[in-house]
């Protein structure tokens, strides 16, 4: 199957194709090598900057590293809870969008329209600051989770809608012909395929959400990564160090999450389509 098996063949046509293939491979390898080298150079440059021209207070970093890093857990917690809420809302909204009952359809479109028509920043402040005026006081974490979950749910409903419509009519008919009820058809045939379709974009949204969860810091009630960084940074006039620390932590988190996502995607593509 591989190109190596044909390389030894004396067939002149095959070897020409083989040469072209190898040239392409070489080009690809070269490209990746240069990209890698450039990354490395940028890194070296940054290390140089921060070791000389830009003054970094190492003592501040050492003293506050543990405090700032302590926000990672809270960031992950709020992101996880929010994504779970978002997935549930998105799925409900997408299913409601398929409904032929006008009020259910309307509820779904109204929700999506309202959330997508207003800034996330506003929505977060609404749950922290506006609701208490009505006597509704949510614990800090939950206010953040509800705001983020509602917001991402509205955007993600489109993902689920696309996933549901990616499952062909023939699949439903085959299930019905076997005697499945509409609920069985949805649960056994349509949803598993729709979810498989939706998992990669859900992963993207989850990564985006870990970063957007920083907005919750602005309310001052959730002590996640961003809140901790700004707190120590402002208090001791070391915003530069504090924000760089937080940036590195966010970056590491998204790198790890992207890696996990790529593994899941490879798994999913196996045995499919």
Beta carbons of 209 and 79 less than 8 angstroms apart: yes
User: What minimum distance in Å lies between the beta carbon of 192 and other proteins?
Assistant: 5
- Give 161's contacts (C-beta < 8 A, 6+ positions apart): 94, 97, 98
Residue 272 binds other proteins (CB under 8 A): yes
Q: CB of 144 within 8 A of CB of 222?
A: yes
SS3 label, residue 193: helix
Structure tokens belonging to residue 57: 């207070």
Per CB under 8 A, the segment of 10-18, 52-60, 167-175, 228-236 that binds other proteins is 167-175
Q: Are 246 and 254 spatial neighbours (Cβ–Cβ below 8 Å)?
A: no
Q: How far is the CB of 167 from other proteins (least distance, A)?
A: 9
x/- mask, other proteins, residues 169-208, rule CB under 8 A, reads -xx-xxxxxxxxx--x---xx--xx--x------------
In the bound state with other proteins, the residue whose beta carbon lies nearer, of 4 and 272, is: 272
- Residue 184 or 258: the one with the smaller Cβ distance to other proteins is 184
271 contributes a contact to other proteins by CB under 8 A: yes
The size of the interface with other proteins (CB under 8 A), counted in residues, is 21
264 contact partners, CB below 8 Å, separation of at least 6: 199, 200, 203
Cα torsion 106, 215, 66, 258 to 10°: value is: 60
Residues of this chain, 132-161, that bind other proteins according to CB under 8 A:
none
Q: Residue 135 has which token pair? A: 């006597």
Residue 267 binds other proteins, judged by CB under 8 A = no
What is the binding site for other proteins (CB under 8 A)?
168, 170-171, 173-181, 184, 188-189, 192-193, 196, 271-273
């Amino acid at each position: 199957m591989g190109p190596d098996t044909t390389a030894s063949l004396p067939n002149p046509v095959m070897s020409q194709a083989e040469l072209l293939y190898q040239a392409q491979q070489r080009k690809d390898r070269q490209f990746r090598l240069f990209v890698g080298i450039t990354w490395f150079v940028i890194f070296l440059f940054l290390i140089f900057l921060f070791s000389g021209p830009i003054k970094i207070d190492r003592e501040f970093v050492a003293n506050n590293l543990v405090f700032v890093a302590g926000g990672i857990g809270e960031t992950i917690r709020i992101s996880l809870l929010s994504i779970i809420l978002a997935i549930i809302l998105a799925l409900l909204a997408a299913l409601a969008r398929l409904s032929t009952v006008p009020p259910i359809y309307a509820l779904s479109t109204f929700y999506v329209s309202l959330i997508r028509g207003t800034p996330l920043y506003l929505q977060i402040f609404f749950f922290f600051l506006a609701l208490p005026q009505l006597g509704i006081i949510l614990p800090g974490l939950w206010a953040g989770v509800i705001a983020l979950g509602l917001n991402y749910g509205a955007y993600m409903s489109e993902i689920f809608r696309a996933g549901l419509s990616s499952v062909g009519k023939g699949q439903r008919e085959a299930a019905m012909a076997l005697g499945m009820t509409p609920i069985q058809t949805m649960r056994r045939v349509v949803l598993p395929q729709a979810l498989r379709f939706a998992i990669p974009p859900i992963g993207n949204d989850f990564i985006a959400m870990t970063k957007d969860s920083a907005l919750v810091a602005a309310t001052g009630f959730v002590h996640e990564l961003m809140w901790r960084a700004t707190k120590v940074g402002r208090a001791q006039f070391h915003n530069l160090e504090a924000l760089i620390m937080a940036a590195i932590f966010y970056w590491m988190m998204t790198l790890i999450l992207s890696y996990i996502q790529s593994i899941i995607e490879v798994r999913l593509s196996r045995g499919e389509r």
